[in-house]
Amino acid sequence: MELHFLGTGAGMPSKERNTSAIAMKLLEERGTIWLFDCGEATQHQILHTTIKPRKIEKIFITHLHGDHVFGLPGLLSSRSFLGGEDTLTVYGPKGLQSWVEATLALTGTHLTYPIAYVEVTEGIVFEDEQFIVHAKLLAHVIPCFGYRIEQKPLLGELLMEKALALGVPKGPLLGKLKQGQDIVLETGEIIYSTDVTAPAKDGFVVTILGDTKYCDNAIRLAERADIVVHEATFDAETTHLAASYGHATNIEAATVAQKANAKNLILNHISARFLAHDITKLLQQARVVFPATYIASDGAQFELKGKELL
């Protein structure tokens, strides 16, 4: 799994940072990409990457402020021109579907693929055999959701030598054991998968939070997560402004990660008031509270290998 930050700015684009968009690359896990938010010019940012829009399977919108959604109609349109045929599922707050459909209709935009809309409420918004996604309301000036993406436990490694020693022939039966199925040999002997596979491994947990001031739901979503992505629109010197605008400081984001016992914190949604020379200070302040803190820039990629952040 890899997080590719396409836009890390707050409010409006700047020369250094585009508006909000994060691609979660699940190419090894399911051959697709999930997108979280789609600010203005997200598709232009994608042009500078290896991301193929037709590979985008799901788009999760945190809230309906323009810096998180103004790029969505354009991306949906371009996905048709770029070979998109598979269903795209779009998750977001009430009102998202009507806005997108009205925009596409008024502009005469024809799509070559169907869109499935899911109106997000608190709870489980998606689940299959691989993943489960939880959503909770955060504390912003309009309804805004944070998402917790949990990969379900991975099947344990097949203990090949042990299986062969028990008389399992090479071939399809080994595959069944690896998939957790018990088998019967020609002799009538039953070989149990649990006897010839290592214990299941925990999958990863990634929490991606939308705009929010410091709140308990952010901590709940981030509990023991391998990666927490949290906004840091303000800093320690502007704490008095953060809550009134429905935003958080770098210190508050670090506190969320610390209280949640998370493993890594990535700060984004950085205000244009912070220039390049301010970023080091932002990072240093946060690391006093939570040492495993990083700040994303546009184009930054963070890969999770096993449980290690690269």
3-state secondary structure 153-210: CECCCECHHHHHHCCCCCCHHHHHHHCCCCEECCCCCEECHHHCECCCECCCEEEECC
Please compute the mean of the pLDDT values over residues 135-164 and round it to a whole number: 93
Phi and psi at 292, nearest 5°, equal -85, 55
Residue 172 shares a structural domain with residue 116:
no
User: Residue 134 domain-assigned?
Assistant: no
**115 and 94 share a domain?**
yes
CA neighbor of 205 nearest in space, from 220, 186, 183: 220
Lowest mean pLDDT among 144-153, 196-205, 213-222: 196-205
Please tell me the chain's helix, strand, coil percentages from 3-state DSSP, rounded to the nearest 5. 30, 30, 45
Q: Which of 88-102, 189-203, 291-305 has the lowest mean pLDDT?
A: 189-203
CA distances to 11, 94, 122, 302 from 298, rounded to whole Å, are 15, 29, 30, 12
Same domain, residue pair 164 and 275: no
- Percent of the chain topping pLDDT 70: 100
Q: Is 307 a residue whose pLDDT tops 80?
A: no
Verify that 53 and 165 share a domain, yes or no. no
| Phi, psi (deg, nearest 5) at residue 133 | -120, 125
Is 79 inside a domain boundary?
yes
- Please compute, for residue 297, the number of CA atoms within 13 A of its CA located in the half-sphere on the CB side: 8
Q: How many domains, in total, are found in the chain?
A: 3
Which segments are annotated as binding site? Answer: 63, 65, 67-68, 140, 211, 269
Is the pLDDT assigned to residue 9 strictly greater than 80? yes
Q: Are residues 166 and 252 in the same domain?
A: no
Q: Is residue 173 part of a domain?
A: yes
Contact assessment for residue 166 and residue 183, using Cβ atoms and an 8 Å cutoff: no
Tell whether 71 is covered by a domain: yes
- Higher pLDDT pick, 133 / 200: 133
Question: Residue 137 belongs to what H/E stretch?
Answer: strand 131-137
Structure-token match 């489980």, residue found:
124
Count of residues making up the chain: 310
125 falls within a domain: no
Same domain, yes or no, for 15 and 115?
yes
169 and 207: one domain?
A: no
Q: For residue 11, tell me if it sits in a domain.
A: yes
Q: Are residues 9 and 99 in the same domain?
A: yes
Would residue 190 count as lying in a domain? Answer: yes
Assign 263 to helix, strand or coil: coil
Report for 101-115, 173-187, 296-310: range of highest mean pLDDT = 101-115
Decide which of 195, 218, 251 is a domain's last residue: 195
Mean pLDDT of 154-181: 86
Hunting for tokens 């579907």 — which residue is that?
Answer: 97
- Interstrand relation of 265-268 and 88-92 (parallel, antiparallel or unpaired): unpaired
Out of 91-95, 146-150, 166-170, least confident range: 166-170
Checking if the pLDDT of 77 tops 90, the result is yes
Task: Note whether 26 and 33 are within 8 A (CB).
Answer: yes
Residue 236, pLDDT score? 87
- Provide the whole-model pTM: 0.90
| pLDDT of res. 142 | 97
Select from 79, 61, 77 the least CA-distant residue to 117: 61
Query: Do 3 and 114 share a structural domain?
Result: yes
Provide the CATH number for the domain around residue 207: 3.60.15.10
pLDDT at 85 > cutoff 80: yes
Judge whether 67 counts as a catalytic residue. Answer: yes
Shared domain for 8 and 59, answered yes or no, is yes
Q: What residue numbers does the annotated binding site for Zn(2+) cover?
A: 63, 65, 67-68, 140, 211, 269
- Local confidence band at 83 (pLDDT 50, 70, 90 cut-offs): confident
Whether residue 58 sits in one domain with residue 29? yes
Domain assignment of residue 153, yes or no = no
Catalytic hit among 67, 226, 235, 298: 67
Backbone CA torsion sign across 34, 6, 297, 20: negative
Residues 176 and 210 in one domain: no
Structural domain that includes position 50:
1-120
Name the average pLDDT for the chain.
94
Average pLDDT in the 203-223 region?
97
The token pair that represents 16 in the structure block: 């250094």
Q: What are the DSSP calls for 89-121, one per residue?
A: EEEESTTHHHHHHHHHHHTT---SS-EEEEE--
